[in-house]
Amino acid sequence: MGEVFVLVHGAYHGGWCWRRVATLLRGAGHEVFTPTLTGLGERAHLLSGDVGLGTVVQDVVAVLETEELTDVVLVGHSFGALAVLGAADRVPERIRRLVLLDGLVVDAGQTGFDGLPAEVVAQREADAQRRGGGIAIPPPPASAFGVLDADDAAWVERRLTPHPLRSYREPLAVDKPLGNGLPVAYLYCANPPYTAIASGHEIVRREGWTWHELATGHDAMISAPELVAGELTR
């Protein structure tokens, strides 16, 4: 009997980025959902200054509820880890375990920006004001995510969209302890490391979550889909 996977993308991306991993998982008999968060990917036309962290948490909760999913393996990549942790606070009864793929992790009441170095925050804020209409952060090149293959990089750069600024400014509103008592695995992409999210690794260690290293870059679902699919099903 296959498992049910809900794969949540990170900043600037969309459900499209999971295409290769989803194909592998479905081929192995699993059920896979790859929702796109509000204002991104094919939902970029919904971008507004009102799209906050609460919005994207609700996006994930809504998929679990409207598809009537239970026993879910809920996966969050990069910024998507915050949406996943928020959903775990709301509907833990629908989730079997959490997997954070090179995830951005902050404590309750902190913002996504609190989990990034000050110079990165300043750059993103400035870019949002200068090139994002004050509501969105323009995407960086694919190389920033460790995507080095030329064809892959071209595909990623065609698809990346500006990311809602408010979702990084709004605090993670959770009532229960982080992870809400569910099993949590953290997949650390080590080659090359995405150093901007390193502060969250201390939280992962403090919480005693499982830690695995992957010898690939930040966008592992694109650069090493077989590796990611293998880790998700192990």
Query: Which residue(s) pair with 97 in the sheet?
Result: 73
Residue whose token pair is 């990089």: 153
- How far apart, in Å, are the Cα atoms of 181 and each of 97, 150, 219? 10, 41, 27
- Our answer to whether residue 199 is catalytic in this structure is no
Cα dihedral 204/171/99/184 (nearest 10): 50
Among 48, 78, 143, 167, which one carries the catalytic annotation? 78
CB atoms within 10 A of CB 164: 29
Active-site positions read 78
